[in-house]
């Protein structure tokens, strides 16, 4: 299956590279599934394939998502010479009880050792994922302190959620584990924000913190609405305007479609209201906010009138502020950002 998948990926890149009209790319992201299961030669071949069709920026950011248990010394030594210059490691926690709760395959020791080992091979641009709301505040504080001690320059952190048909879902229903508590998660979120800022991080997106010069350039492009193209099962693409598409999630159907010269995918044409909703939803999650001039120059008056009516209420409540031509959510309300943004959504009547 892996060989078939790699063949399909190479073929999709060949067939679809023209969809990205700007051939100069500043970021490339190997994610989804577990790309760290690939051999480094296979990763390098994918990079070389893209380099045939795109002009890599001299300072290109090339990120690989990885599980801690995949990052052995041999792999990292080869990876450090492959062109990959940023790692996103699915750490989740540095404590065994948390990892068991989240049904993770790696141990607490592997979580820490994988980071140290990557740094030893010169891969210092590292992001780790941390999950909050899974344990007590003292444990959460120790998790954050461990990240500081390890000198990780980027942290992505998310609240624990109970997904259907998972082990955690079963344990919660059986009452062997308590369901996540929103008040506890709120406390953990704001403690994290203050603690990381005190330690030199910038809280630049609701779930993302970085030392200066270590922002995720790839994700920042998403949040700023720039076009991108994705290859592989479930991969999403966006033309920067109103067309969004995504490949079928099923591996076998993806491979079969590419092999037969027919990409299995779905496509969505965003209405003007959909485009505004997305612009607001994504922008309000960041320190940059949403540029008012972009809204005014893009959308027609009847849409603007409807939006301004909703915006007025949010401004009056103090949930939205305007700074130098940008709409922003004050950081004290960031935990509620998704709900605030959704209150500004416009609904298509048809």
Domain ranges of the chain: 22-223, 272-343
Judge contact between 276 and 303, C-beta under 8 A.
yes
Q: Output the pLDDT for position 160.
A: 84
Q: Is a pLDDT exceeding 80 seen at residue 167?
A: no
237 touches 228 (CB < 8 A): yes
| Rounded Cα distance, 278 and 223, in Å | 10
301-338 confidence digits (pLDDT tens): 999 999 999 999 999 999 999 999 999 999 999 989 99
Non-local CB neighbours of 264 within 8 Å, separated by 6+ positions = 247, 248, 253, 254, 256, 257
Q: Which residue has the higher pLDDT, 181 or 206?
A: 206
Instruction: Please check whether residue 27 is in contact with residue 60, taking contact to mean a CB–CB distance below 8 angstroms.
Output: yes
Q: By C-alpha distance, which of 189, 143, 178 is closest to 338?
A: 189
- Percent of the chain scoring above 70 in pLDDT: 94
Instruction: Indicate if the pLDDT at residue 7 is higher than 70.
Output: yes
Q: How confident is the model at residue 172 (pLDDT cuts 50, 70, 90)?
A: low
> Is residue 268 predicted with pLDDT exceeding 70?
yes
pLDDT at 102 (0 to 100): 83
Of 40-54, 98-112, 274-288, give the lowest mean pLDDT range. Answer: 98-112
- Tell me what the mean pLDDT of segment 34-56 comes to: 91
The most confident of 196-205, 238-247, 333-342, by mean pLDDT: 196-205
**Res 165: pLDDT:** 65
Identify the pLDDT of residue 161: 79
pLDDT tens-digit series, residues 119-151: 999 999 999 999 998 778 999 999 999 999 999
Please report the pLDDT score of residue 171 as a whole number.
Answer: 61
Is the pLDDT at 175 greater than 70? The verdict is: no
Q: For the packed helices 272-283 and 301-317, what is the interaxial angle rounded to 10 degrees? A: 30
Q: Residue 57: pLDDT band by 50, 70, 90 thresholds?
A: very high
The whole-number pLDDT of residue 168 equals 57
Q: Does 3.30.750.200 match the CATH number of domain 22-223?
A: yes
pLDDT of residue 200: 97
- What is the C-alpha separation between 82 and 36, in angstroms, rounded? 13
* pLDDT greater than 60 at residue 103: yes
CA Rg value for the chain: 21
DSSP 285: T
Is the Cα torsion angle 36, 38, 39, 40 positive or negative in sign? negative
- The confidence score (pLDDT) of residue 1 equals 72
The SS3 assignment for 59 reads: strand
């Amino acid at each position: 299956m892996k060989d078939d998948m790699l063949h399909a990926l190479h073929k999709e890149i060949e067939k679809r590279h023209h969809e990205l009209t700007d051939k100069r790319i500043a970021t490339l992201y190997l994610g989804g599934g577990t790309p760290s299961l690939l051999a480094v030669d296979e990763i390098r071949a994918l990079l070389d394939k893209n380099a045939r069709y795109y002009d890599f920026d001299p300072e290109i950011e090339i990120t690989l998502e990885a599980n801690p248990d995949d990052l052995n010394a041999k792999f990292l030594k080869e990876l450090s010479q492959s062109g990959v210059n940023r790692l996103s490691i699915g750490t989740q926690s540095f404590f065994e009880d948390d990892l068991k709760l989240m049904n993770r395959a790696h141990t607490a020791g592997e979580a820490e050792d994988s980071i140290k080992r990557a740094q030893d091979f010169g891969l210092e641009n590292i992001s780790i994922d941390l999950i909050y709301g899974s344990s007590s505040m003292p444990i959460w504080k120790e998790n954050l302190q461990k990240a500081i001690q390890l000198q990780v320059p980027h942290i992505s952190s998310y609240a624990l959620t109970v997904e259907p048909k998972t082990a955690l879902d079963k344990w919660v229903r059986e009452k062997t584990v308590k369901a996540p508590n929103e008040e506890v998660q709120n406390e953990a979120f704001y403690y994290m924000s203050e603690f990381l800022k005190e330690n030199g991080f910038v809280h630049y997106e609701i779930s993302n913190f970085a030392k200066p010069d270590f922002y995720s350039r790839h994700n920042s492009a998403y949040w700023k609405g720039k076009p991108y193209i994705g290859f592989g099962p479930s991969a999403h693409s966006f033309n920067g305007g109103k067309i969004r598409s995504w490949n079928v999630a099923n591996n076998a159907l993806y491979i079969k479609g590419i092999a037969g010269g027919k990409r299995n995918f779905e496509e969505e044409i965003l209405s003007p209201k959909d485009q505004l909703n997305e612009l607001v939803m994504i922008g309000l999650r960041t320190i940059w906010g949403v540029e008012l001039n972009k809204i005014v120059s893009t959308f027609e008056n009847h849409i603007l009138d409807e939006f301004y009516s909703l915006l007025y209420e949010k401004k009056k409540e103090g949930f939205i502020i305007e700074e130098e031509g940008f709409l922003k959510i004050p950081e004290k309300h960031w935990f509620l950002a998704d709900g605030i943004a959704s209150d500004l959504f416009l609904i298509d009547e048809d």
